[in-house]
Structure 1
Amino acid sequence: MDLRRLYGRTLLLGLTLLPGLASAVGKCERLVVTGSPDAPPYLWQDPQNPKHLIGASADLLQQVAGELGIKIEMLYAGKRAQALDEVRSGRMDMLADAPLTLNELENLDYIHPPLLENDYLVWTRKGSTLPYSEANDLRGHSGAVSEKSRMTREFGTFAEQQLTLTRTPNLTQAFQKLLLGEVEFVLAGRYSGMAAAQALGMGNDLQTYPQPVDRPGLFLAVSHNSACNDPWLRGQLAKKMTELPASGLTEAVLQRNIERWKSQQQQPASTPKQ
C-alpha cells in the first residue's frame, strides 16, 4: 500500500478517535461582547470602569461562558445603535441583549432560547382602579413609555395604532408623569421598572398588574462577521440557554443586580437614565 495513503488513513482514524480535538479546532477562547449601556438591571456602564458593562445579562453570560471555557469581555461601545454597528461589522463578536428583529437576521445569528425574557408590566399609582387584564383594556386610557423600551414588533404595532402613549426620554420621566397624574399607567419592564422605582424612592407609591402586556426576549446574537461565529459556539450557547431557566440562577442574578444598581444610585445622588 502507498505509504502516503496509509498515513492519511491513520491520521483520519486518529482524529475520529479524538472528538475533543476535532471540536476544539477553530474554537474561540475569547469573545468581545457589548449591548445597551443604559438598561439596568440587565446592562449598564460600570461607574468604576466606564469602558465596561455590568448587569444581570453580563453576569449570566460570564457564568455560561466560564462553563464553556471561554473568556468574555463586556465592553461599552456607545449607545444602543453604536453597539449594534460594532457587532454588525464584526469589530465586536456578540450582543448580549438583542431584541429579535427580522431585519437583523441578515447580520446576526440569534441564539435560542433567549438569555432573558423581559416581562413588560402595566404600572399604576398605588390604589389605582384602572381595570386591566389584557392589552385591549388599556384603550381609552392615557399612558407613558420610555422611548428606550424595546418591545415585540407585534405589540409595538398594536400600541402605536390602538393606545394613547406619551413617549418619554427615559423611564424616570415616565414614572414622574404617572405620580403627577399626567398619565394613568406606564409600560415598563418588570425588573427595569423595579430598579428605577426603588432608586427613585417610588417603590411604595406604585403598583403593577401580574399579567404581562408583552414579553420580548433578550437574545445573545453573534455577528455573521465575527471570526468566532462557528457551529460549535452556537450549539454550545443554545444548549446553555436551554439549561439556564431550570437552574434557578436567573432570578437570583436579577435581584442582585437590582440591589447593585440601587446602591450605586445612592452613593452619588442621581437618577436612573433608563
Structure 2
Amino acid sequence: MHRRLRQFRFVLLSTLLGLGLAPISAAQDSACKQVRVAGPESYPPFVWYNEPGPEIDGVGVALVKKALEGTGTQVISVKTSAWNRTIARTVAGEIDVLAALYKTDERSKALHFIGPYGTERTAVVSRAALGLNVSDLSQLGGLYGGAAQGDSRGDFVEGELKSLNVIRAPHVRLLFAMLKAERLDYMLVGEFSGLVRRDFSILEDPALKVDVLSEPTEGVYLAVSRQSACFDVIRGPIEKALTDAAGARLDAMKADALARFRQGPLRKAPAPKP
C-alpha cells in the first residue's frame, strides 16, 4: 500500500514537472525577494516621491507594504523620468506594481487592477484672462490645450479629447510653464495629481483659473503587471490588504498621507525654454 502511494506521488510529481507546474512556488519565492513599485511623481495622497531621494510614499505604497509585511519581500522604489515610460516598463514586467492608476480597457490587457481605493475628477486649468467657466470639454473647442504623456484621463475624457486641439508634453511641470508663458490656453490635470503639488501652486496663482469637471469621476487603482514574476504571489495579498483597509481606516490613511506630503519641502518649477 505504502509502495503504491509512493509510486503515485512520483508519477504525479513527474506529470506536474512536465507541465511546468510543480516548481512555481519555489521559483516565485526566489524571484520575489523584491517587489518594484512606482507611481506618478506627485499624486498625493495616493503616491509621491520624497526629494531628493527616490523613496516612494503614499496610501498606495502603504497598502503594498502592508500586503507583503512579514513575507521577507522588500518593497523598493523605482523612479523613471516620464510617466509614459513608467507605464511601458510596468507593462513589460520591469516594474511589478503601479501604486496609483486609472483603469482603462487598453491598460487592462497588460495590467491587473485592484480597487479602486480612491476617486478623482479632471480639472481644466486655464489662463484667467480668458474668462472661461468650463463645465464641459466641448467648451474648449478652438482653444489650444495640453495634457501629460501617458496620463490618461479615463476612456470617456480621452474620447472627448480627440475632437480638441490638445498636445502631449512629457511632464505636467512643462505644461504649467507653457501655460504661464501663454503658449497654452489650458491644461488638463487630475484634481490631485495636478492641483496638489510641491513644485508649483496652481490654486494660489491669480493668473490661473481652475474648473473641476463634475463628471466623470474616475477610480484610482493599484495595478499589478501581468508580466511580473511575482504576479501570482502578490496579487492576492494586495487585494486582501485593500479589503482589510476599507472604510474609515482607508480614509484615515489618506488624511495622514496628505498631511505628510504637505510637511515636505517645496521645489521650484522650471521656467520654459525660449
**Shared fold per TM-score greater than 0.5:** yes
Root mean square deviation of aligned Cα: 4.1
Cα distance in 2 for residues equivalent to 1:128 and 1:67: 55
Matched length: 247
Higher helix share goes to which structure?
A: 1
> Is the Cα–Cα contact under 8 Å of residues 88 and 107 in structure 1 kept in the other structure?
yes
Q: Deviations over 1:117-145 (max 9, x none)?
A: 34221224558742332333333444333
> What amino acid does structure 2 have at the position aligned with 1:241?
L
Check whether the contact 1:123–1:185 (CA below 8 A) recurs between aligned residues.
yes
Residue 96 of structure 1 corresponds to which residue in structure 2?
99
Q: Give yes or no for the alignment of 1:35 onto 2:4.
A: no
Give a deviation string over 1:40-99, Cα, whole Å, max 9, x none.
44545543433x434453244334544988652223366445544544454543232344
Residue 213 of structure 1: CA displacement? 5.1
- How far, CA to CA, are the matches of 1:144 and 1:84 in structure 2? 20
Report the counterpart of residue 53 of structure 2 in structure 1.
Answer: 49
Distance 1:71 1:34, change over 3 A: closer
1:189, CA displacement in angstroms? 1.2
Q: Which TM-score applies when normalising by structure 1?
A: 0.66
CA contact (8 A) 2:35 2:230 kept: no
Matched, 1:228 2:230: yes
Contact 2:203 2:210 in 1 (8 A): no
| 1: CA distance, partners of 2:209 / 2:147 | 16
* Partner-residue secondary structure (3-state), 2:196: helix
Q: Deviations over 1:200-258 (max 9, x none)?
A: 2543224433434554444322233434322x743442343345452313531452354
1:57–1:96: 8 Å Cα contact kept in structure 2?
yes
Counterpart in the other structure of 1:194:
195
Q: For residue 199 of structure 1, report the CA deviation from its aligned partner.
A: 3.3
Q: Which residue number corresponds to residue 141 of structure 2? A: 139
Distance 1:257 1:47 in 2: 13
Mapped partners of 1:242, 1:272: distance in 2: 43
Sequence identity (%): 20
CA distance in 2, matches of 1:101, 1:245: 23
1:108 aligns with 2:111: yes
Corresponding position: 1:61 with 2:64: yes
2:115 matched to 1:73? Answer: no
Q: In 2, distance between residues paired with 1:218 and 1:68?
A: 26
- 2:162 counterpart of 1:160: yes
Shift of 1:149: 2.6
Q: 1:76 and 1:119 mapped to 2: Cα distance?
A: 25
SS in 1 for 2:192: helix
Q: Deviations over 1:139-194 (max 9, x none)?
A: 34443333353222332121122x23344443234334444555443311112222
Instruction: Give 2:113's aligned amino acid.
Output: Y
Specify the alignment match of 2:242 in structure 1: 241
